[in-house]
Structure 1
């Protein structure tokens, strides 16, 4: 190959490298993921943000715990007994995510990726009596755990990575354009690849919005979960009933006072006719 041909080849290679570099820069600029746990006053709660094209497209803050059954040998080293690991999502976890028009995903990894949580959200429309209404929901949860991790699993039999998945999940259902908020605990059952084992996921202090975020780093109007609404009603109902009872007592006393005053000013008519002669 002559000198000119080598020069042309070098230029083409340089162009390809520049294209790859610009593509990587564009991808990195388009999507950012952040763990903002340090902003939470709750030491058990994580705050995650996914941003694309310089705009927040998914926000999630919650506390999560996983109750994982696993087998250990009994003292006779013949029988198996079941122990239970309580695994909490720790602050400062690694986060990944993606946003779409009708599907968004959040992935969280912690303890050197011994544990991984994937949450898939979908947005869909339904025909109702009021017309076409759009909602979003949590449609799938996947939890990967490594039972060879010694902090939570002690002397686990067949220690390795397992995957636990939700089954026909429809949780956190929320009207489109709103965020979901729930302080109460919510449990989701996950079927594990460890035979005959069910992992329980417990969420609390939840505030999530995977679609239609209008302001950067700001949740839209909250959609309260039914449990929170019921607890709020139970807290305010005695106060409302007390106010009504107090109002009834005040009105009753006022009526009695007015009636007593009116009757006191009236002329007393004798009941006995013989007393008429003393009147005049």
Structure 2
């Protein structure tokens, strides 16, 4: 059987529930004879697309045998390695790494697919290219150690899911092979640690009943006599934790603006907003992307005792420094009336209601022109489409009525 035929048969077999056999491959990025990045992993993809019949199709496939290091891979002067794994007819999986003091981390994972490759995407309606990126990864380790994760780890993006497994990675290895000392991912840590129970314990999940929508809070950050950040939002926090009897529980609670103190600081390219009450501290950090002339929410962290005593009296903490939410053009504000979920990590997320924020370029303590989120645009589009359809229907009925009247009089003549 040809390789193309095997690809075409692969996705239907997966959908029927057959056991998926994935290929683990090793990739090296070099600068001359010096290796700046070693990676060994298997990858499974789930990609949704539109067919020529205007229907949505989903294909499942693994990183194929022909996957290899693309010539776009480079070491960037041994400071920020980029691995581009090419496969098929122009598809790729890219990983950007960076060094932070005594550690390294994966910053961005990007998937690029060409719809014109009908081996992978039969009957695709487009001949363009799909490019999706995510910063929601927790792949990091200390220098001179190997990051290792045998467990599956799935990155969710719009229309694309990527599941990595049997992972070994090391940026800036001291030799041309993996270091013997390893940093294990959270999912692989043995159940001796309470933190791992959340991942490995197969016990029923309990959840506190969802609370009502949160009250809208208005916050600002002032440096000197100038307001440099404005924010309005209702915040609902979702925390997954482990109870003393090793059960997974979900705690949902709202931030109460009347009990919350706001603080923060601003610079030309970085602004932070800290919200704190008696039990909980939240920190939002916005930064500027000079290349795109946009700002976005890059960091979000929490520390809280609100889950006690169900969590055994311990403080819950979570942090993600690689987010890419609320992206907006500099000089404007970001607005979203729809409920929006900010996923920080698998254990913590925030539901934001009636969100309006501007961390840069605030003049006279007033919001600049707002850029609406895509969800609000979609919600506005639906009634417009429905209204247009109804108007079209009325027009068709009216035309049919007039034609009918004309025909009914056509057989009569005046005597």
Give the TM bin, normalised by the shorter chain: 0.5 to 0.7
The answer to whether structure 1 residue 85 and structure 2 residue 244 are counterparts is no
After the TM superposition, which residues 13-162 of structure 1 pair with which residues of structure 2 at under 5 Å, given as runs? Answer: 44-74=215-245, 80-92=246-258, 93-110=260-277, 112=278, 114-126=279-291, 133-146=292-305, 149=306, 152-157=307-312, 159-162=313-316
Q: State the match for 1:205 in structure 2.
A: 354
Q: State the match for 2:375 in structure 1.
A: 227
Q: Separation in 1 of the partners of 2:403 and 2:271?
A: 63
Among 237, 246, 261, the residue aligned to 2:385: 237
Bigger proportion of residues as helix: 1
State the 1:267 CA deviation: 9.5
TM-score, normalised to structure 1, is 0.63
State the 1:257 CA deviation: 5.6
State the 1:205 CA deviation: 1.4
TM-score, normalised to structure 2, is 0.44
Q: Separation in 2 of the partners of 1:71 and 1:164?
A: 14
State the 1:102 CA deviation: 1.4
State the 1:141 CA deviation: 0.5
State the 1:53 CA deviation: 4.2
Task: Verify the 8 A CA contact 2:308 2:315 in the aligned structure 1.
Answer: no
Q: State the match for 1:247 in structure 2.
A: 395
Q: State the match for 2:154 in structure 1.
A: none
State the 1:229 CA deviation: 0.9
Question: Which of structures 1 and 2 has the bigger CA Rg?
Answer: 1
Superimposed CA distance per residue, residues 123-160 of structure 1 (whole angstroms, 9 cap, x where no aligned partner): 2233xxxxxx41111111011112xx5xx433432x23
State the 1:209 CA deviation: 0.8
Q: Separation in 1 of the partners of 2:391 and 2:226?
A: 47
Report how many aligned residue pairs link the two structures: 202
Task: Verify the 8 A CA contact 2:214 2:353 in the aligned structure 1.
Answer: no
SS in 2 for 1:73: coil
RMSD, aligned α-carbons: 2.7
SS in 2 for 1:165: strand
SS in 2 for 1:237: helix
Mind listing any 5+ residue stretches in structure 1 that lack a counterpart?
1-41, 75-79, 127-132, 192-196, 269-280
State the 1:52 CA deviation: 3.2
Superimposed CA distance per residue, residues 16-67 of structure 1 (whole angstroms, 9 cap, x where no aligned partner): xxxxxxxxxxxxxxxxxxxxxxxxxx86121101233433321101111222
Q: Separation in 2 of the partners of 1:52 and 1:255?
A: 71
Q: Separation in 1 of the partners of 2:393 and 2:353?
A: 36
Q: Separation in 2 of the partners of 1:155 and 1:183?
A: 33
Q: Which has the higher contact order (CA 8 A, sep 6+)?
A: 1
State the 1:230 CA deviation: 0.8
Q: Separation in 2 of the partners of 1:163 and 1:88?
A: 17
Change (3 A) 1:265 1:134: farther
Mind listing any 5+ residue stretches in structure 2 that lack a counterpart?
1-212
Change (3 A) 1:119 1:256: same
Superimposed CA distance per residue, residues 62-95 of structure 1 (whole angstroms, 9 cap, x where no aligned partner): 1112221222233xxxxx2222222321122011
Change (3 A) 1:43 1:139: closer
Task: Verify the 8 A CA contact 2:227 2:365 in the aligned structure 1.
Answer: yes
State the 1:121 CA deviation: 0.5
